[in-house]
Amino acid sequence: MNYRIVQFKDLSGRKAKIYSLIENDDEISLFERFVNENNDQFPSEIEAIYIQLEKMGNIVGTQEYFFKHNEGNLGDGVCCLVDKTKNSPTLRLFCYRHSNIAVILGGGGPKFVKKYQDDPLLLNSANQIKAVAKKIHSYILENEISIDDKGVIAGQIELEV
């Protein structure tokens, strides 16, 4: 798979940059597809996720409390964004979190199973972002990508995973 990292300027701000991925030659990002597929059934959760993203970008950064951690391998930055206003959130949005300054949003969907691995859609979304996180880590080590202290990604934004 090939992905291109794109920034959401309307969500990004002085505290953090919010990104997503465009797969191959698609016209919309994985995050936009997630919103389109889930907005009719879960409008309040989608709205809450947008509010959290705007807060991250402009007020507090990508603080740990926004995310459910350890959704990937130990230390790979793969996590899940959920509607924290609900006691039992339904939607899972898989992402890669880089410190408190940047997040790359993947895809996801509703979780009606005990483990996301039991749902093919969620498993695919998690595997996508895990592969992207692995590639980003290797590019950082090879100095092909850099993420500055404001969350700006520079360098290789095309990823082949």
Q: Phi and psi of 11, rounded to 5°?
A: -100, -30
Whole-angstrom CA distances from 81 to 27, 46, 70 are 23, 11, 12
Percent of the chain with pLDDT over 90: 83
Task: State yes or no: pLDDT of 88 exceeds 80.
Answer: no
Q: Between residues 1 and 109, which one has the greater pLDDT? A: 109
Domain positions in the chain are 2-160
Q: How confident is the model at residue 70 (pLDDT cuts 50, 70, 90)?
A: confident
**Spatial separation of the C-alpha atoms in residues 47 and 35, rounded to whole Å:** 10
Task: State yes or no: pLDDT of 22 exceeds 80.
Answer: yes
Task: Give the neighbor-by-neighbor strand order of the sheet with 102-110.
Answer: 67-68, 78-81, 91-98, 102-110, 17-23, 2-7, 158-160
Task: State yes or no: pLDDT of 118 exceeds 80.
Answer: yes
